[in-house]
Amino acid sequence: MSEPDTDPVPPPPTTRPAAPFSHRLLPYDDAGELLAAAVPFLRGGLRAADRVVAVTGLATRVLLQGELGAAADRVEFRDAASWYAHPARTFASALADADAEAGRGGRLRLLAEPAWTRRPDGEVREWQRAEAICNVAFARTGAAILCPYPVRSTPPAVVADARRTHPETVRGERAVPTPGYLEPHAYNDRCDSEPLPLPPASADALSIARPDLYWIRAYVSDWARRVARTPDEPLQRLLVAVTEVVTNAERHGSPPITLRMWTEPGGACVCEISDGGRWPEESWYGFVPPPPGVPGRLGLWAVRLLCSRVDIRTGAAGTTVRLTVENAHGGSRTGARARSARADPRLN
């Protein structure tokens, strides 16, 4: 499977960012260190008439509001637990906000306190990957992003990776280059260095020899309804995702194309499409959203939004795309907030 047409690195921005992009790590031990860096960051944004958004837990919010005083009213506070709902959707929503500000000649200033550091390993990895990809995707917007990591209450391995995904680290009001920072492609490859766990022996396997895509959907629907008991709404998202990935495999990949399906212990429905092709090096695998306002760019990126999770491995042995859809509405942690952020204003 070669890289789909819809997955290139975005072209240069059409709008000139008002300020250079920054994505900084703020490792802190206590509230004093947090406030010493976060408060000037937020105040600076208010002075510059940026759109200032603070994604935090309750404790940090109370601290910041106390320190900012009346200025806190002009900061948009978001609850971190629900904001970090779904890596691709949260990413899309934040990037759309940043693009919108850049389009107006302004800037998004985002304080983003990670609320995911104690979630399951697989999900933590996707948020860490988002931290790395953010350096590529948000550059065109000139956004300023500051990520405070509480060193004492965060697993050391997560702090270590935060140093690999943030180009700069803040100490007080100074920012210095982060010594261990990894180029995003390198970090992305590192995330996928381990092979995917093997499908269970009980997985349902279907060899796809170019039948009409209609029959593949009929087969997946039947299996998902009967075996996985997937409700209609997540099933529709899964069908769109499977159709896209099989279409890519038929257009760019090599036979044999195989579809496997199984259910996870928690009830999630997994569809895996593998083929004999190999994607080119330096692919973003649909992690980098297309630029706004350019039609015809829905592809693997949209598949990531539709599924709870997408895992891709490509190499000499072929390519595997594993799509996971939770039976619950929307995905593992998707709150109404992340969804409504991109709801169509024309409908209201």
Partner 1 sequence: METFWSVRRPVGRIRPGDHAWLGYCGVEEHDHVVGAFVREGLLARDKVIYLCADAHPEIPGVVGRPPASLLTVLETGHDGPGPALAALAAEVAAAERAGFAAIRVTADLTCAARDPEAARDLLDCEAAVERLVRPSTAISAICRADRRRVPPETMARLRAAHAVHAAPDPDFEDAVLQIVRTFDPRGLALSGELDASRHTVLDQALALVLAGGDHGPVHLDLAELRFIDLGALNMLAEVAARRAGRGPLILDRMPSQLHEVITTVGWNMLPGLQVGCAATPDPLPRP
Say whether residue 344 binds partner 1 (CB under 8 A).
Answer: yes
DSSP 138: S
In terms of CB distance, is 88 or 115 closer to partner 1?
A: 88
* Interacting residues with partner 1 between 200 and 239 (CB under 8 A): 212-214, 217, 232-233, 236-237, 239
- Binding footprint of partner 1, residue count (CB under 8 A): 37
Interface with partner 1 includes 3 (CB under 8 A)?
Answer: no
Residue 257 has phi, psi (to 5 degrees) of -100, 130
Q: In the complex, what is the shortest distance from the CB of residue 238 to partner 1, in angstroms, rounded to a whole number?
A: 10
Residue 88 CA: distances (Å) to CA of 11, 126, 139, 149, 305:
20, 9, 17, 21, 6
The CB-of-107 to partner 1 minimum distance in angstroms stands at 19
Q: If binding is defined by CB under 8 A, does position 8 make contact with partner 1? A: no
Distance CA 173, CA 291 (A): 32
The DSSP-derived string for 3-65 is --TT-SPPPPPSS--SS--EEEEEEESSHHHHHHHHHHHHHHHHHTT-EEEEEE-HHHHHHHH
CA angle 275/279/283 to nearest 5° reads 140
Among 302, 310, 323, 325, binds partner 1 (CB under 8 A): 302
Residues 269, 221: Cα–Cα separation, whole Å: 11
- Binding residue (CB under 8 A) for partner 1 from 12, 197, 293, 316: 293
Window 246-265: residues binding partner 1 (CB under 8 A)? 247, 250-251
Instruction: Point out which residues bind partner 1 (CB under 8 A).
Output: 6, 89, 92, 96, 212-214, 217, 232-233, 236-237, 239-240, 243-244, 247, 250-251, 290, 292-293, 295-299, 302-303, 305-306, 339, 342-344, 346-347
